[in-house]
């Protein structure tokens, strides 16, 4: 894992002055997008995930995520961008171009539908990658065996429409650059116990899946 982190620092961050580079092994940037959707949903989810990465994996991670906009040049400091919400997402042409450059330089976007952003996400992703095809990842994909084992693929966290959970990917030059988790709501499962009162096994499944996603982003 350290080797993968060093590779990222060498090839993804060369444009960032050394004084600005973080001492953390891993950081998450939450995307503050336009369009009216609640980009800020599930406020305890990412701090809980970062805590688990410190305690279970030993990563030197901060206590909370950084909030960043799609057009912010500092987005290139973060290997991992998280998108969630219930409502509409909208990217300007410049924001879409910046996100495309982010992906081309090795960044990964994880979009977790919090029930209601599916239509706009599928529309806006085509602004970033015009030829984007959302490919469903089978249970045999390394994402589901990265650290914890998910032989049946993506776990179901919240019912929503009662559809089976699906994990999609967008590949850019052969690399999985965007992960989209749909009809599961991992973010709700990551929240503190009192928020949704999910049973421990459901929260544990969400946490393990999120850890797999993070570790996949560092190792691929």
pLDDT band at 141 (very low <50, low <70, confident <90, very high): very high
What pLDDT, on a 0 to 100 scale, did the predictor assign at position 9?
37
User: Residue 85 forms beta bridges with which residues?
Assistant: 113
Question: Is residue 101 classed as helix, strand or coil in its secondary structure?
Answer: helix
- For 1-60, what is each residue's pLDDT tens digit? 444 443 343 334 333 333 234 689 999 999 999 999 999 999 999 999 999 999 999 999
Region 167-179 average pLDDT: 97
pLDDT band at 125 (very low <50, low <70, confident <90, very high): very high
Q: Which distant-in-sequence residues (6+ apart) come within 8 Å of 158 by Cβ?
A: 115, 184, 185, 188, 189, 196, 198
User: Residue 182 forms beta bridges with which residues?
Assistant: 166
**Given the DSSP bridges, would you call strands 166-172 and 175-182 parallel, antiparallel or unpaired?**
antiparallel
What pLDDT, on a 0 to 100 scale, did the predictor assign at position 8?
40
Strand-by-strand arrangement of the 29-31 sheet: 66-68, 29-31, 80-85, 108-113, 175-182, 166-172, 135-136
178 neighbors 108 (Cβ within 8 angstroms): yes
| Domain segments of the chain as ranges | 2-12+22-219
- For 69-122, what is each residue's pLDDT tens digit? 999 999 999 999 999 999 999 999 999 999 999 999 999 999 999 999 999 999
What pLDDT, on a 0 to 100 scale, did the predictor assign at position 22?
64
Torsion, Cα of 93, 95, 96, 98 (10° steps): 120
CATH topology of domain 2-12+22-219: Rossmann fold (3.40.50)
Given a cut of 60, whether residue 181 has pLDDT beyond it is yes
Secondary-structure percent of the chain, ordered helix, strand, coil, rounded to 5: 40, 15, 45
What pLDDT, on a 0 to 100 scale, did the predictor assign at position 160?
73
**Global pTM value:** 0.89
- For 11-23, what is each residue's pLDDT tens digit? 343 333 332 346 8
What pLDDT, on a 0 to 100 scale, did the predictor assign at position 154?
97
């Amino acid at each position: 894992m350290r080797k993968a982190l060093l590779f990222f620092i060498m090839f993804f961050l060369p444009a960032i002055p050394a004084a600005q580079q973080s001492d953390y092994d891993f950081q998450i940037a939450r995307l503050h997008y336009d369009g009216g959707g609640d980009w800020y949903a599930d406020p305890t989810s990412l701090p809980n995930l970062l805590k688990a990465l410190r305690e279970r994996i030993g990563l030197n991670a901060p206590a909370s995520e950084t909030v960043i906009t799609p057009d912010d040049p500092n987005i290139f400091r973060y290997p991992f961008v998280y998108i969630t919400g219930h409502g509409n997402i909208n990217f300007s042409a410049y924001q879409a171009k910046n996100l495309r450059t982010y992906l081309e330089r090795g960044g990964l976007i994880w979009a977790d539908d919090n029930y209601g952003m599916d239509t706009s996400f599928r529309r806006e992703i085509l602004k970033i990658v015009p030829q984007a095809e959302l490919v469903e990842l089978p249970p045999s994909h390394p994402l589901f065996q990265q650290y914890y084992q998910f032989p049946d693929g993506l776990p179901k966290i919240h019912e929503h429409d009662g559809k089976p959970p699906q994990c999609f990917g967008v590949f850019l030059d052969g690399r999985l650059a965007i992960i989209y988790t749909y009809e599961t709501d991992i973010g709700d499962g990551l929240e503190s116990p009192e928020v949704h009162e999910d049973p421990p096994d459901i929260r544990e499944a969400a946490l393990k899946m999120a850890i797999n996603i993070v570790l996949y982003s560092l190792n691929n």
